[in-house]
Structure 1
Amino acid sequence: MSETHEAGQLDMLPGLRASVAGGRARRGEAEMRRRHEEEPAEVDPVARVLVDVPLAHLDRPFDYLVPQSMDDAVQPGIRVKVRFAGQDVDGYVVERAPGTDHDGRLTPLRRVVSPERVLTPEVEQLTAAVAARYAGARADVLRLAVPPRHATTEKADREPRPAGLTSTLAQAQAAWSGHPAADSFLARLEEGAAPRAVWQALPGADWTVLVAHAVARTRAAGKGALVCVPDHRDVTRMAAALDQVLGEGQHAVLTADQGPAKRYAAFLAALRGDVHVVIGTRSATFAPVRDLGLVVMWDDGDDLHSEPRAPYPHAREVLLTRADQQGCAVLLGGVTRTVEAEYLVRTGWAHPIAPSRTVLRERVRVDVVANDERNRGARVPGPAMGLVRRALAEGPVLVQTPRSGYVPHLACERCRTPARCGACRGPLRLTDPASPPSCGWCGVVDHRWRCGTCGAQGLRAPVLGRDRTAEEMGRMFPGHAVRSSGGDRVIAAVGEDADVVVATPGAEPPAARGYAAVLLLDTWLGLGRPDLRSDEEAVRRWFNAAALVRPQGRVVVVGDPGSPLLQSLVRWDPAGFAERELEERLSAHLPPAVRMATVTGEPEAVEEALALVTLPDVVEVLGPVPVERRQDRPEAATEVEEIRMVLRVPRSQGTALSEALLAMQRLRSARRLAAVRVQVDPHTL
């Protein structure tokens, strides 16, 4: 190395030393600032945080240090970021505390995500109760309760709300005329009391207006209200009724399909107290309504109220739990009465509100016309056609058919054996009158089908779908427009024109002044299914369609006149049906008389799970039974076979059963064993 080069390097040393010293100083200052920022808050330096980790053995609050720099921002209910298991995760602060039971050094909070206290104490208590009731993880329930944050919406200016309309108790009681017990219920709402009722709606009445008046009486007492309905069409109708009775801008709509911005905006409107009335689908049951005074559920028998995600809570049970915790009024309404609602009446927990028999006889008439369609008879008998033809002279007619599509099932014309696909054994169907038979599973077209039982090549349609029924109606009643509603083509509403509307159950559009007549076809199809609620569901569908008839309208049912279920429709006695169904459930030890749970999974996993759980002494273990594959999923045949075990205990032991299953889930989660699916009080078995 040359002397010149060595001298140059020596000349650079002071600068390098100064740079290194400056870097050390900056790092030291940063370390000092970091230590200062991590100095604990002087008051309540510990934050208890529910972390968003859906593992059962981690389902509890964890203690974190509240840095002094975050002292003012960290409040119960806010979202935070915390370090957990080596990564940053979301969490909710549920409490500030002066100390901790943790022996080691607490990890400080990473940052405050938002100053909004999105998890209110009431909703935090409710999520804990729901998780315990359904043996699930609190993190899963919190995801149902609190929508994802939308920063732009949160920072937007709050819009002023217009003044609401003023209605009177007399107006509400007039709207509820025909329901004798409603007057005292509405009066108690206005007094700020907490009455609980199971309501059977009058056929032909606009139930949304009646609910709106009940909400108005609650608002007159200075309290909030929460209304839960099955689907978005009901939400739209309910919103229009609230605008009519309360005035525009007095409620928020909260549904899962609104999109992130609209959903979070509605959530914030209720959280901040901008509105005191929230309507929505099952996702609205956790809405943070201030001073909650009334919870309403319409048509609690609809399976849309049952959450398909873990821990599978039912919206009705969430609302009833909330009513118990917050001491608010309850109104369970519907055209029919579910067995669970009848049980509430039987035990005295709720009181019935039903129309008088005199009013019912004046409002609706139901006729049953016998038909042997399953053999050789006409699908719509002559007397039914005559009634429909006369009704079309007065207004629209609704025709309910239980199957969608054109011809959803085909059978051998000679021996009636169901026609199956030669490739995957799926059911053959017709999608339109011009297409050949195709498989409903794999879509393969079968031009040369031959019956494997008798060798015949002819096909018949044992069941006709909505579209084929609409074709038949067009031929039967020429000169009248025929409209089809169902699947992805659901009609929102119809006017007063004399049209024929063919709809599948649940897709029946309301008419402007009600239907002049309602025709129910293929009533036998809904019966006899191996399901706990098959009869209850069939009756609910018939009543819901028949209730769309206008006052003094006619309902015509094609079926067996001797059927006890159809006779309950003829007498318009849904409460009587629910009472008889409850008696059968009580004698057979079925819900709601007992509490049940299912454990589903691969055979080894289910057996292992039950070996780990300490069940109550009175438990009955039923099964195992193989889990049936969905017929519209032929690929399921390649999946691993699953089994289901059913656990049954007396209703008084339901809490003990949920606790035992939750302890089992925590143990399996900690040991990282194969997952099993636990459902407490499943909607169907």
Structure 2
Amino acid sequence: MPTTPHDQPEDQGELIPGMVRSSVKQAQAKARATRERKAAGATITDVDPVARVLLDLPLAHLDRPFDFSVPETMAQAAQPGVRVKVRFAGQEADGYLLERSAESDHPGPLQPLRRVVSPEQVLTPEVLGLVGDVATRYAGTRDDVLRLAVPPRHATTEQEPPGEPAGLLPRDSGAAAAAWADHPLAGAWLSHLREGAAPRAVWNPPPAADWPRLVAEAALSAPGGVVVCVPDGKDVERVDAALRATGEPEQHAVLTADSGPAARYRSFLRLLRGERRIAVGTRAAAFAPVRDLALVVVWDDGDDLHAEPRAPYPHTRETLLLRADRAGAAVLVGGFARSVECHHLLHSGWAHELTVPREVLRRAVTTTVAGATEHDLVRDSAARAARIPKQVHDLLREAAQEGPVLVQNPRHGYVPALACERCRTPARCSACTGPLRLGSPTEPPACRWCGEEAPAWACPECGHRGLRAPVIGQSRTAEEIGRALPRVRVRTSARDGVLAHVDGRPQVVVATPGAEPVAEGGYSAVVLLDTWLLLSRPDLRTEEEALRRWANAVALVRPGGRALVVGDPAHPAVQALVRWDVAGYAAREAASRAEAHLPPATRLATLTGGPGALDDALTLLDVPEPVEVLGPVDVPDAASEPGERQRVVVRVPRAHGSRLSASLGELQRLRSARKLDPVRIQVDPPTL
């Protein structure tokens, strides 16, 4: 039966108006608190009320600090180096607070900071200065460099309690002196390092040297912060293991993108807060916020992985040299091969040489060339013509009984290219004209571009249906070696599956350059196949890069091991490898480049874009004499028509390199302000 108002209890009728009054009071209190909070936020602090903020904007003409006011509620949190959010051009923008000041040059009222994202001061003054130096050197913007220097924020990791600060005392010199005993000048270098001086060295260890241990001992000998940059994750793991093996695992942090956002940001914070003093990582670790920087180390500086593929395309070696010069820190640039840039550092007197005596090199490895002597040709008349001559089979059969053997093959896959068996015409796809390949012995020929199979292919020139393999991949090489050595285990390491380590048991490892695994105790022998492939690349650094890749492979042998090269014994790069004369070869390359007016004797930059955009850029570019402008030339690009993209090379003497960078930076700002068509500018590109 429905109730009426007369049926409700008397106390319930009195309760409803009371609840309404309570709700109204709560709403009024909440509105009052909101008004007070907004009023407090609108109140500008009296102490240093101006915040200079570098905005996270990609436009070059906005690469400068902007002034904002600091609300009273943010006065404590808004400290130099923190992340902030501001209102700019009608939109919310991210930025970094660079400094606080009492006055502003802006005549009108200032927009207030909207929010301090985090109280963590992630941008230190030293890193900020380095970011500016790198942006100026490579004609880029500080915003682009900051994306490389400061990892994205991970809020959960930021809330973790801080740890204990790391000690800054250098390690006892006994272990370091024993590790570096083969290098006669290393003792003096380490002594200067421990005393807080800034010795600079170019270091080339002998083959079979345990370079991660030497780097670890040098890092622990430094009296302050250390930055160690290596090419890839495999090398990071080796240096990390070497530092842990020293008995002081709490001294370093690993900075790599592969470790994930949380782990990377945790390592970044440990270095920022002083909980770790040694940063080990790939190219982004060059900006690690270590305290009291005393030493920077870059290993294998000739590796193209040290060249950043994103604007402004800085190189790890140059970044660390700029940082060491700014901080007054020591420098160690190492590698089994020597780059032309390192030779320039020695030739100019900026750095000193750290090498071993010739007798140490002779004991480390014995390197020979297949078919190099008359005796070899008598035993095998096809030693210079065969891809895998008899000497290789004999060495594999003998060395595989002693331990693992490494075979370097320059191409990955099974048969990456095919040609007509009769007339040698390259086999092409009938659908897209892409090159045909064989993925395995049981698959028909297929296009590398579109995947279309061509089981009934016929040569368009002669009509022949037979195919030959002008280039052999590592999978096919492993198959051939397995047939020749049926009782020996054969493994492969390439792009699709890279092995980091192999044990010391007898086996043959066929690997592509850069994917060679580290063998436990070292390889008993190393074989270098198809050396002509690395020497046939149309590139400025072809021979230098070939020697570097060969040297890195040969250096994986155990002390007293053997290496066999299948190639032209008269080629200068092959001869340099046999003699292990990386210093002499670098000097020869440097002299050749100086005659051709190429880096490092000169400073050059490439401008790439459409014809109209390049004309505008060259019109606006103001480079003082002497300057050479080469081009324009068409840039081959599968995504554009011929002539749609062109490239110009601007070249000046090395002494005028800073003026070239400054002119290119001003060009970037003018183009950005006028909204001109895009032009890609790259200073000192690693390749042309």
In the aligned structure 2, how far is the partner of 1:375 from the partner of 1:621?
47
What is the aligned partner in structure 2 of residue 190 from structure 1?
A: 194
In the aligned structure 1, how far is the partner of 2:381 from the partner of 2:676?
53
SS of alignment partner, residue 249 of structure 1: helix
SS of alignment partner, residue 102 of structure 1: coil
> Which amino acid in the other structure matches residue 127 of structure 2?
V
C-alpha displacement of 1:182: 1.0
What is the aligned partner in structure 1 of residue 119 from structure 2?
A: 115
> Which amino acid in the other structure matches residue 647 of structure 2?
R
What is the aligned partner in structure 2 of residue 12 from structure 1?
A: none
Q: 1:29 to 1:432 in 2, by over 3 A?
A: closer
- Contact persistence 1:216–1:245 (CA under 8 A): no
| 2:383 counterpart of 1:383 | no
Pairing partner for 2:611 from 597, 603, 606: 603
What is the aligned partner in structure 1 of residue 519 from structure 2?
A: 511
In the aligned structure 2, how far is the partner of 1:527 from the partner of 1:438?
27
What is the aligned partner in structure 2 of residue 200 from structure 1?
A: 204
| Residues 226-265 of structure 1: pairs in structure 2 closer than 5 A | 226-265=227-266
| 2:405 counterpart of 1:397 | yes
1:100-157 alpha-carbon deviations (Å, 9 max, x no partner): 1101111111111111110000000000111111111111111111111111100112
> Which amino acid in the other structure matches residue 646 of structure 2?
I
1:287-332 alpha-carbon deviations (Å, 9 max, x no partner): 0000110000110010001101111111111100000000000000
1:469-524 alpha-carbon deviations (Å, 9 max, x no partner): 00011011121100100112111111111100000000001111111110000001
What is the aligned partner in structure 2 of residue 6 from structure 1?
A: none
- Contact persistence 2:365–2:559 (CA under 8 A): yes
Q: 1:409 to 1:295 in 2, by over 3 A?
A: same
Q: TM-score, normalised by structure 2?
A: 0.92
What is the aligned partner in structure 2 of residue 659 from structure 1?
A: 662
After TM superposition, the structure 1 stretch with the greater mean CA deviation from structure 2, 33-42 or 136-145, is 33-42
Q: 1:509 to 1:31 in 2, by over 3 A?
A: same
> Which amino acid in the other structure matches residue 69 of structure 1?
T
| 2:651 counterpart of 1:648 | yes
What is the aligned partner in structure 2 of residue 84 from structure 1?
A: 88
Cα RMSD between the aligned structures? 2.4
C-alpha displacement of 1:29: 8.3
Q: 1:619 to 1:165 in 2, by over 3 A?
A: closer
C-alpha displacement of 1:214: 0.2
Q: 1:642 to 1:370 in 2, by over 3 A?
A: farther
| 2:269 counterpart of 1:268 | yes
Q: 1:118 to 1:389 in 2, by over 3 A?
A: same
- Contact persistence 1:164–1:246 (CA under 8 A): no
> Which amino acid in the other structure matches residue 178 of structure 2?
A
C-alpha displacement of 1:24: 11
| Residues 508-547 of structure 1: pairs in structure 2 closer than 5 A | 508-547=516-555
- Can you give the 5+ residue segments of structure 1 that lack an aligned partner in the other structure? 1-18
- Contact persistence 2:634–2:642 (CA under 8 A): no
What is the aligned partner in structure 1 of residue 338 from structure 2?
A: 337
In the aligned structure 2, how far is the partner of 1:134 from the partner of 1:264?
27
C-alpha displacement of 1:54: 1.2
Q: 1:426 to 1:568 in 2, by over 3 A?
A: same
| Residues 414-563 of structure 1: pairs in structure 2 closer than 5 A | 414-563=422-571
In the aligned structure 2, how far is the partner of 1:94 from the partner of 1:422?
59
What is the aligned partner in structure 2 of residue 211 from structure 1?
A: 215
SS of alignment partner, residue 203 of structure 2: strand
C-alpha displacement of 1:177: 2.0
In the aligned structure 2, how far is the partner of 1:374 from the partner of 1:646?
45
- Contact persistence 2:383–2:389 (CA under 8 A): no
> Which amino acid in the other structure matches residue 675 of structure 2?
R
In the aligned structure 1, how far is the partner of 2:620 from the partner of 2:170?
60
Pairing partner for 2:143 from 119, 139, 145: 139
C-alpha displacement of 1:615: 1.8
What is the aligned partner in structure 1 of residue 9 from structure 2?
A: none
Q: TM-score, normalised by structure 1?
A: 0.93
- Contact persistence 1:395–1:499 (CA under 8 A): yes
What is the aligned partner in structure 1 of residue 592 from structure 2?
A: 584
In the aligned structure 1, how far is the partner of 2:84 from the partner of 2:302?
38
1:229-250 alpha-carbon deviations (Å, 9 max, x no partner): 0111111111000001252222
> Which amino acid in the other structure matches residue 87 of structure 1?
Q
SS of alignment partner, residue 468 of structure 2: strand
What is the aligned partner in structure 2 of residue 680 from structure 1?
A: 683
| 2:623 counterpart of 1:622 | no
SS of alignment partner, residue 112 of structure 1: strand
In the aligned structure 1, how far is the partner of 2:634 from the partner of 2:477?
36
In the aligned structure 1, how far is the partner of 2:78 from the partner of 2:119?
8
1:591-640 alpha-carbon deviations (Å, 9 max, x no partner): 011111011111111111111221222111001111123xxxx5x25698
In the aligned structure 1, how far is the partner of 2:167 from the partner of 2:629?
58
Q: 1:70 to 1:556 in 2, by over 3 A?
A: same
> Which amino acid in the other structure matches residue 364 of structure 1?
V
What is the aligned partner in structure 2 of residue 369 from structure 1?
A: 370
In the aligned structure 2, how far is the partner of 1:611 from the partner of 1:31?
56
SS of alignment partner, residue 251 of structure 2: coil
In the aligned structure 1, how far is the partner of 2:630 from the partner of 2:675?
26
C-alpha displacement of 1:582: 0.4
C-alpha displacement of 1:418: 1.2
After TM superposition, the structure 1 stretch with the greater mean CA deviation from structure 2, 28-37 or 475-484, is 28-37
Pairing partner for 1:574 from 579, 582, 598: 582
1:405-456 alpha-carbon deviations (Å, 9 max, x no partner): 0000111111112111111111111000011111111111112212222222
> Which amino acid in the other structure matches residue 464 of structure 1?
I
What is the aligned partner in structure 1 of residue 317 from structure 2?
A: 316
SS of alignment partner, residue 507 of structure 1: coil
What is the aligned partner in structure 2 of residue 168 from structure 1?
A: 172
What is the aligned partner in structure 1 of residue 102 from structure 2?
A: 98
In the aligned structure 2, how far is the partner of 1:268 from the partner of 1:615?
42
C-alpha displacement of 1:375: 12
- Contact persistence 1:165–1:247 (CA under 8 A): no
- Contact persistence 1:396–1:499 (CA under 8 A): yes
1:559-607 alpha-carbon deviations (Å, 9 max, x no partner): 1111111000110111111010000011110001111101111111111
> Which amino acid in the other structure matches residue 218 of structure 2?
A
What is the aligned partner in structure 2 of residue 10 from structure 1?
A: none
C-alpha displacement of 1:466: 0.5
After TM superposition, the structure 1 stretch with the greater mean CA deviation from structure 2, 112-121 or 361-370, is 361-370
- Contact persistence 2:634–2:643 (CA under 8 A): no
